Amino acid sequence: MTTIQKLGTAELLFRRAVQMGLRPVWLAPRKLFSIETARGLRYVYEAKSGSNSHLSSVLARDKAATRRVLQQQGLPSIPFLQTSEYSAAEDFIAAHQKVIVKPLTGSNSRDVRIVESADDLAGLNLAEYILEKYIAGEEMRYLILDGQVIAVHRSDYGVSVAEDRYLERISYPESEWDPGLVGLSLQIAGVFGLRYAAVDFIIGSNGKPLILEVNSSPGMKWFHAPTAGPPVDVARLFLEAMFVEERVKIPVPAVM
């Protein structure tokens, strides 16, 4: 497989679509393109193509909603708090000592911070954030497409949560995938109704996994060009799943 180095997701998909004869047309460079199928025009916006329902995407994007669904399902989630009350946030920090503060609908580690004192929350509109217990450990990402895990990565970036932090992504061969995490990933994707998704786990010092994130439109560049380990042509797999069948016109059977 020819690796395309560190292109954005939309560019990866567009180039693969060209190679596959899908005749994509850019509508907004590096963001949005169209593909004409037997069922009409379809659109791809980065890693969004209608593969996931609106409800599925909203539940995964809203971090508090994600945590509440995981909690209700009895899945191994991280202790969290979503509140507008500084006194409640202060109690949560006191209970857990070290806390991650994230925007409710943020992405790519934007505006994420580690806090160890309620004083660090000064000036924040708490209603727009979620607080989660900080847990050190090994971060693993399981990528899912149509009920199958198609790639597994370990993310290495130390303790930083900054958007521009140093990051390595180590790709694991299938022989090294954890069967328990494979099954748990597929269960989570099923709960949220996600065809295409990434489930991130944090493996703490006790060896037990907790669900760190559920992502309904994960980027593809690191799967095509990991820091180490086997690359996976996620763009081709994604396009085959979403569009190839739609371009096949089924012939009308002859009347006997």
pLDDT at position 213: 95
pLDDT at position 46: 87
Does pLDDT of 202 surpass 50? yes
Separation CA 127–CA 108 (nearest Å): 20
What domains does the chain contain, in order, with CATH numbers?
Answer: 52-78+136-218 (3.30.470.20), 79-134 (3.30.1490.20)
Task: Give the chain's mean pLDDT.
Answer: 89
The answer to whether the beta carbons of residues 56 and 216 sit under 8 Å apart is yes
Q: Distance of alpha carbon 174 from its chain centroid, rounded?
A: 19
pLDDT at position 38: 83
Q: What sign results for the dihedral spanned by CA atoms 187, 189, 190, 196?
A: negative
135-176 pLDDT per residue, tens: 999 999 999 999 999 999 999 876 555 555 678 999 999 999
206-230 pLDDT per residue, tens: 999 999 999 999 999 999 999 999 9
pLDDT at position 111: 86
Radius of gyration of the chain (CA): 20
Residue type, 178: D
The answer to whether the beta carbons of residues 17 and 35 sit under 8 Å apart is yes
pTM across the whole model: 0.90
Range scoring the smallest mean pLDDT among 4-8, 52-56, 183-187, 190-194: 4-8
Record the tokens describing residue 16, joined without a space.
């693969």
